Amino acid sequence: MGIRLAQAQGRPAMHDENINHSFLDGVLTGEHADVYYHFGVASDDPVLEEFRDVRAIILAGSGDRIDDFARRWSAQHDGAAIVALPKEERFVTRYCAGVLFASHGMGMPSASIAVQELMRMVFFLKGGDPGAMSEVFWARVGTSGGVGLPGGTVVVSTQGVMADLKPYRLLQGGSGEYWFDSTFPRSVADAIEAASRGSGIPIELGRTVAGNEFFLEQFRLDGAICMETPESKMEWLEWINAEGVRNIEMEGAMLAGYLNHWGFPSFAMICTTLLNRLEGDQVTASHDELDSFSERSGDVLFNYLTATLG
């Protein structure tokens, strides 16, 4: 029994024309290896043979959380072996029972490195087969600042946007910008919510702002550098709240943008709120409350993984 792994309706399985075949095809033919430098492994490393059956890639900011997730998944699968990649000064990686857990650090620049190298790794592991790649589920799990929501609410994102509520984009040198579709598949978000129905965990679906910076782009007044006033801060927060934004974090728009670019149909972001930004900037919840809040996003993830992967 269980919920069928959700895929975004109406989207092609993969956007093959956006995959960097000029580099990646040579990895498959053996012309050259692909070095996933920040993970400390390359495509010709025998350890990756154990990852061929990967069905899900789970991302989180903290390496400790990745280790906890892998142990939890192992316990659910009769103590299945956990494989760790050797390099951990940048990202911590664990593989267990078809799921690759990896940390991404903090912010879109750091997380984009992890996501790009993992996309290349999935291409290699699935032999460049679009159908096989499209079956891999991706998720980022983390914490966030709530917008009109109390601490402890789990937000499943429907779209990642920048602080101006526009989609994810990068500078193309001095000639323009690269724009990305940073929406999350709604059918996946709905399935994640359904998998935790009756759990007692408060869950909301909505848009998510991804800030390039923790203080300035999130209109905080408690940074070493402050450019805002109480009035301009509240004007921004009330605007994004009225536009359907439910939380603020620092990675989601990039994650959705990159995965959409290749056409992965099944991915999500699940983040617990630590506070309601309409009521303040600093996290004042107790240590026990923060632990409880943080656990909720993991519980929502595992409810979905258990329902879809077993």
CATH number at residue 51: 3.40.50.1580
Say if CB 202 and CB 152 are below 8 A apart. yes
Residue 12 lies in a domain: no
Q: Which residues contact 283 (CB under 8 A, 6 or more apart)?
A: 274, 275, 290
Same domain, 121 and 74: yes
Say if CB 263 and CB 134 are below 8 A apart. yes
Position 41 scores a pLDDT of 97
Residues facing 268 on adjacent strands: 139
Choose the final residue of a domain: 93, 111, 135.
135
Task: Specify the number of domains making up the chain.
Answer: 2
Same domain, 39 and 168: no
Q: What is the mean pLDDT of each run of 10 residues along the chain (310 residues)?
A: 37 83 97 97 96 98 96 97 94 98 97 98 97 97 96 97 96 93 98 97 98 95 96 97 98 98 98 94 86 93 95
Position 290 scores a pLDDT of 87
Burial annotation 71-97 (CB, 10 A radius, 16+ → b, else e) = ebbbebeeebeeebbeeeebbbbbbbb
Same domain, 62 and 89: yes
Single pTM value for the model: 0.94
Same domain, 94 and 165: no
Position 12 scores a pLDDT of 53
Same domain, 38 and 81: yes
Residue 213 lies in a domain: yes
Same domain, 261 and 169: yes
**Structural element, H or E, at residue 24:** helix 21-29
Same domain, 256 and 282: yes
Same domain, 184 and 281: yes
Position 263 scores a pLDDT of 97
